[in-house]
């Protein structure tokens, strides 16, 4: 998992990390049930204090994005229902295919909008 912290940013590091993890969960890059790095491991990898990563994890847990299972670690929560997860998967596959075809993002979106109207 490639996460990064901009130490020059005015955005606090825990918030930068929270946003990056949330984006990965929402995009499906981190699937439901995926195990997250340990607090200490991720802190060391990113050059952060463990409390910074712990705060990020606490906020994500508060928002039901992740769940902590004691000594077993932290995992991405099962979010959304099966239909929502399937729609996310289909959208990801479609976006990947549009990129492979070399179409512009707006052309891909226009095609989806037209298909949903028909």
Average the pLDDT over 68-79 and give the result: 88
Spans of all domains in the chain:
13-76, 82-117
The pLDDT value given to residue 52: 98
Percentage of residues of the chain with pLDDT beyond 70 = 94
Tell me the CATH architecture of domain 13-76: Orthogonal Bundle (1.10)
CA nearest neighbour of 36 among 65, 79, 6, 12: 65
User: Please, which residues bridge with residue 89 across strands?
Assistant: none
Band (14; pLDDT cuts 50, 70, 90): very high
Torsion angle defined by CA atoms of residues 60, 76, 25 and 81, in that order, rounded to the nearest 10 degrees: -110
Q: Is the pLDDT at 110 greater than 60, yes or no?
A: yes
Q: In which residue are the tokens 């239909």 written?
A: 83
Q: How far apart are CA 49 and CA 47, in angstroms?
A: 7
DSSP 8-state symbol, 80: S
**Does the predicted TM-score (pTM) go above 0.85?**
no
The pLDDT value given to residue 63: 87
The first and second tokens of residue 28, run together, are 């499906």
Distances (CA, A) of 93 to 10, 34, 87, 116: 35, 19, 10, 17
Percentage of residues of the chain with pLDDT beyond 90 = 69
CA nearest neighbour of 88 among 34, 35, 31, 36: 31
Tens-place pLDDT, residues 79-105: 655 566 677 788 889 999 999 999 999
Per the prediction, the chain carries an average pLDDT of 91
């Amino acid at each position: 998992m490639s996460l990064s912290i901009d130490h020059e940013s005015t955005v606090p590091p825990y918030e930068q990390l929270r946003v990056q993890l949330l984006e990965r969960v929402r995009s499906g890059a981190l699937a439901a049930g995926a195990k997250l790095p340990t607090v200490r491991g991720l802190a060391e990898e990113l050059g952060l204090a463990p409390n910074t990563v712990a705060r990020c994890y606490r906020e994500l847990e508060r928002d039901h994005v992740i769940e902590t299972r004691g000594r077993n670690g932290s995992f991405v929560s099962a979010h959304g229902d099966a239909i929502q997860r399937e729609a996310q998967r289909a959208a990801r596959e479609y976006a990947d295919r549009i990129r492979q075809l070399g179409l512009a993002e707006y052309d891909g979106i226009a095609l989806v909008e037209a298909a949903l109207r028909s």
